[in-house]
Structure 1
Amino acid sequence: MRDESKSFLRTCLDMQPRENHVGGMKMGVLIIVEDDVGTVDSIPNARFFTVVLEEQIVIDEVSDLPTAVALLFGLVYALNMAYPKELKYTFETIQKLFMCLDKKSLF
């Protein structure tokens, strides 16, 4: 019953072509990180975020993750798209807990 988070959030180095990392990504956010070699314990520094729908980059160079996720949800609602089956619980959790959007409050 667990969703596969790899298909929702992916990481790409800033020197790599982004198009190579969106294959198989129905909906999600691509995190672009700086191409530097740090220590194994260091956290990569995110430069910006990219919104992906149906394996296509639709919004590029978003400054932070919450904005990228909000833009993704806005596009999903505006385009009347269904959540991918393998990410249903991930999207429903974000929708209800973090965005406070419940079916009752939408009508």
Structure 2
Amino acid sequence: MEADELERMDLGVYKIIHEGAQPDDSLEDVGIIIERCTVLQDLHDVASGCALLFGLIYCLNLSYPKPLRYTFEFFQKVLMGLEDKKLSNKIQVLKNKLCQKETQ
């Protein structure tokens, strides 16, 4: 990820890899950006970054970015099982399709 991309990121997890790194090489850095500020860095892996990002969103009472609201809703309600009884129509349809594939 380029430095200018990090500066434009409103909310998310970033990873920085060494130039020329192979897929199994260790990451140079993993961190979290909120409102264009790096709030955590030197995390162990992207999965930890995602879990911590959800914790920060909850603790700081942040709204999901509009372009990514369904992505975040899917993670929260389907993958993590939090408030999974209140799904938007789009996420409910996706969940139903995934459950159908699972039973086939």
Tell me if TM exceeds 0.5. Answer: yes
Identity of aligned residues (%): 34
SS at match of 1:51: strand
Larger Rg: 2
Letter in 2 for 1:62: L
What aligned pairs does 1:43-82 form with structure 2 within 5 A after superposition?
43=23, 45=25, 46-82=27-63
Query: Aligned residue for 1:27?
Result: 11
Normalised by the length of structure 1, the TM-score is 0.68
User: Aligned to 2:13, what secondary structure does the other structure show?
Assistant: strand
Equivalent residue letter for 1:23: E
TM-score in terms of structure 2 length: 0.69
Structure 1 unmatched runs, 5+: 1-10, 13-17
Cα deviation digits, residues 31-69 of structure 1 (max 9, x gap): 11012x26xxx5373233110101110000100111100
Q: Is the 8 A contact 2:43 2:49 kept in 1?
A: yes
Cα shift at 1:84 = 0.6
The answer to whether the aligner puts 1:92 opposite 2:76 as a matched pair is no
Q: Which has the higher contact order (CA 8 A, sep 6+)?
A: 1
| Contact kept in structure 1, 2:32 and 2:38, CA below 8 Å | yes
More strand by share: 1
Aligned to 1:3: none
What stretches of structure 1 move > 3 A for 4+ residues in a row? none
Cα distance in 2 for residues equivalent to 1:71 and 1:26? 16
Which has more helix, going by share of residues?
2
Q: Secondary structure at the match of 1:62?
A: coil
